Structure 1
Amino acid sequence: PPIVTGPMIIMIGLNLSGSAITNASSCWWLALVSMAIIVVANIWGKGMVKIIPILLGVVGSYIVAVIATLCGAQLPDANGVMQPLVNFASVGEAHLIGFQKFILAKFDVSAVLVMAPIAIAAMMEHIGDISAISSTTGNNFIADPGLHRTLTGDGLATAFAGMFGGPANTTYGENTGVLALSKVYDPRVIRLAAVYAIILSFSPKFDALVNSIPSAIVGGVSFILYGMISAVGVRNIVENQVDLTKSRNLIIAAVMFVSGLGFSSVGGVTFTVGGAAVTLSGLAIAALCGVILNAILPGNDYEFGISVDGDKSADLGSY
């Protein structure tokens, strides 16, 4: 229920916030430029401008960075050596067309034992993000097409990617923030984006161009997106009318927040299974705590997909 998924969404955004600060701190003025463009485009923009504030924030601040580079702006790299704000060296060296290196996966028990527990966090994040997207778009995706279909699709996509050496897939909470800002909910947009991404993935030069974007710009954009994730989580709790006057709900939320943020700050919990070191992240621990507490604490009158009264958490706001 939302008393579990809501805090999960909030913590996803808060756990990412450190990354936003780290990236933005490399050049604060450039990060502020990207944030300002997004805010102006989203609040005062009209038509297409209002639909693509994130893209405008990235492109607009990148143009500013290029102009600043032409004027001699520099930043120190990891070794303290001064480098241009935007470095095009790798872009010039990269080929226009190239192929990825595909590697057929092999079965390894120790690798399975290490990676499998992480799936708990990914599954909880999936459920939380589907709830958040439902609240954002006004469509109950938990019921239609249903979590059984979305989770199956997510799992099959991850298995297929892993089979050929690709990274695991996940339902990125950042995209919920994009939906909330752009108000564009048409699935055809995502399908087109997928086609473009596949085509552009065969261009090392485009990859180098994207990687030439200063990290400060990514940090500025992340300020908005990561904060938007947590805000959507709060909205999920509020719109579902979760009764936080109930002690059980307060306890669940409290333990999840401390577990998710506290254990993340110390690198999670590591233990050994069959000679392999297994680490549970803060989000995975919070997910486990939320599910277990919701199951064992008395007073749970929520029936998934059935109850519209109870603690009001089944209401999903407008359904």
Structure 2
Amino acid sequence: MSEIHSTEYNFKLKDALLGAQMLFVAFGALVLVPLLTGLDPNVALFTAGAGTLAFQVITRGKVPVFLASSFAFIAPIIYGVQTWGIPSTMCGLVGAGVLYIILSFLIRIYGSGMLRRVLPPVVTGPVIMVIGLILAPAAVHMAMGRTGDGSAWLVPNDTAMIIAGISLVTTVMTSLLGKGWFKLVPILLGITAGYVSSIVLDATGITASMQASFDPGQLQNWTAPALISFGAIAEAPILAIPNFTFPTWNLEAILFIVPIALAPAIEHFGDVLAISSISKKDYVKDPGIQNTMLGDGIATSLAAMLGGPPNTTYSEVSGAVALTRSFNPAIMTWAAITAIGLAFFGKVGAFLSTIPVPVMGGIMILLFGAITVIGINTLVRAGNDLMLPRNLAIVAIILVFGIGGMNFDLVIVKLGGIGLAGIVGVVLNLILPCKDCNDPLPEEVEAGIE
């Protein structure tokens, strides 16, 4: 077996290019989260690399995964940044990492089955759905050329719809028809298609023509004759220290964000099982799910302490591992080193900041819809009868509290949105009587499915 196909850690200079390729696969999704949430892409690159290295130390270099920006936290980050600012939001995200760490120690004590009992699909499924649905309006606003809250125009509507449509269609068609490496980077190709289209619209004068005849109505008009300005790239330094932001204490942010980490914690099991299946090695036992969870938690808290988004294992990188059969975990060390190196190139962040809002809006339509579908699929795969009174109550209350914007002002802190929905779901699951609550659907009983 060749060195890259071996599951043993073997750090070699010749594997640097393979590591860079792994980062390329993750790059589109990695920078998408900071671009959507207002964080610094260069900081996200640095914290993804640093988080991956921390994960490797904790898991003793045994698992070939790359950790980077988690999509599950997009909604709470956007809300947190708008409500409390970036430093306070980072405090909440540090708390999310601490929750992972606490769960890792509980797993050591009680076993992995503990999480399944406290966080069954009837809780995690609707919480994941809320995460996707709560930001659906922001995706539509951005695809139409407006700010995330819909209060102002950034790009004329007709121009925005063309660009968003190209980004969305390219992403969808690549994921459906792409072969080899192309199938692994649909988001990156969608962003590229939207960006190139924007350049073409600017160069042909179509952007200026549409902007001149655009009627903004009652909304503020921040549109411009060109979609892309390269001035920021020219002014940006070649080398620059990332704009690190350190957290400030905010209990309200912690109580809002921490419950959201419950759903990704459950998904962590699936990620580890997936890479175990790909590598034909049981990472749940060695280095142990308790250690991979601990590594994920440390990586997330470390990222938030520097102003980056929470980290999670990337399925697209796992797909690249399966495609190339590069099981050597040291390749992910090279990916991490490459990410840290790119973080200090100032022009990288400046270039990413020139991506027009409708490009991201088109991607967000698919992204947030996909998150919602994952939540639905979590419920479907569980096979529980959702019309049983207990299951119906839990799912219904989580959805309405989360999407409807229910909030409680507890004097010292205000709970609402996704955080409140997650807490209520966990509490209901623990206190409601569980008579026949896990009965399968009638048709599954007839089919003999357990």
- Whether the TM-score (by the shorter chain) exceeds 0.5 is yes
Q: Which runs of 5+ in 2 are unaligned?
A: 1-119, 146-159, 442-448
Q: Deviations over 1:128-149 (max 9, x none)?
A: 543675798896x996677644
After superposition, the C-alpha distances for 1:253-307 in whole angstroms (9 at most, x for unaligned) are 00000011111xx7x444432xxxx3323111111111111111112678xxxxx
Contact preservation (8 Å) 1:30, 1:216: yes
* Distance (Å, rounded) in 1 between the aligned partners of 2:246 and 2:403: 36
Q: Does structure 1 conserve the Cα–Cα contact (< 8 Å) formed by 2:164 and 2:361? A: yes
TM-score, with normalisation over the residues of structure 2?
A: 0.56
Secondary structure (helix, strand or coil) at the match of 1:298 reads: coil
1:289 counterpart residue number: 424
One-letter identity of the residue aligned with 2:186: P
Post-superposition CA distance 1:155-180 (Å, at most 9, x none): 323433444x42452549xx66x68x
More off after superposition, 223-232 vs 151-160:
151-160
2:383 corresponds to which of 241, 264, 267: 241
Q: Taking structure 1 as reference, are residues 113 and 54 closer, same or farther at Cα in structure 2, changes over 3 Å only?
A: closer
Shift of 1:19: 2.1
Query: Is 1:298–2:433 an aligned residue pair?
Result: yes
| Structure 2 equivalent of residue 121 of structure 1 | 259
With over 3 angstroms needed to count, the CA separation of the structure-2 counterparts of 1:55 and 1:162, relative to structure 1, is: closer
Quick one: distance in 2 between partners of 1:64 and 1:284?
39
What residue number does 1:212 align with? 354
- For the pair 1:272 / 2:411, whether they are aligned, the reply is yes
Q: 1:183 to 1:229 in 2, by over 3 A?
A: farther
Q: Tell me how far apart the structure 2 counterparts of residues 156 and 135 of structure 1 sit (CA, whole Å).
A: 20
Question: Tell me, which stretches of 5 or more residues in structure 1 are unaligned?
Answer: 303-309
Whether the 8 Å contact between 2:299 and 2:311 is mirrored in structure 1 is no
> Cα distance, 1:184 vs. partner?
4.7
Give the 5 Å matches for 1:64-213.
Answer: 64-72=197-205, 73-74=207-208, 79-102=221-244, 111-130=249-268, 133=271, 148-163=290-305, 165-167=306-308, 169=310, 171=312, 184=320, 194-213=336-355
Tell me the alpha carbon deviations over residues 182-205 of structure 1, each in whole angstroms, 9 at most, x when there is no partner. Answer: 955658687665444322221121
Aligned amino acid, residue 290 of structure 1: G
Residues in 2 aligned to 1:224 and 1:299: alpha-carbon distance in whole angstroms: 36
2:55 alignment partner in structure 1: none
- Given that 1:5 and 1:131 are in contact with CA atoms closer than 8 Å, whether structure 2 keeps it comes out as no
Deviation at 1:209, TM superposition (A): 0.5
Contact in 2 for aligned 1:8/1:283 (Cα 8 Å): yes
Structure 1 counterpart SS, 2:384: coil
Question: Structure 1 residues 147, 79: closer, same or farther in 2, change over 3 A?
Answer: farther
Letter of the 2:143 counterpart: A
The answer to whether 1:51 aligns with 2:184 is: yes
Moved more, 205-214 or 41-50: 41-50
Q: Distance in 2 between matches of 1:192 and 1:223?
A: 33
1:23 aligns with one of 125, 142, 167: 142
**Deviation string for 1:202-234 (max 9, x for gaps)?**
112110111111110111111111111111111
Preserved CA contact (<8 Å) 2:142 2:360? yes
SS at match of 2:433: coil
How do 1:2-41 and structure 2 match up within 5 A?
Answer: 2-26=121-145, 27-41=160-174
The 8 Å contact of residues 131 and 142 in structure 1, kept in 2 or not, is answered as: no
1:103 & 1:13 partners in 2: Cα distance? Answer: 27
Amino acid at match of 2:169: A
- TM-score of the superposed pair, with normalisation by structure 1: 0.76
Computed over aligned residues only, the root mean square deviation of the Cα atoms, in angstroms, reads 3.7
* Aligned CA distance change for structure 1 residues 227 and 79 (closer, same or farther; 3 Å): same
Alpha-carbon spacing, 1:236–1:124, altered in 2? closer, same or farther (3 Å): same
Q: 1:117 to 1:36 in 2, by over 3 A?
A: same
* Cα distance in structure 2, aligned partners of 1:159 and 1:216: 31
In 1, Cα distance between the equivalents of 2:201 and 2:321? 36
User: Using the alignment, how far apart are the partners of 1:113 and 1:311 within structure 2?
Assistant: 39
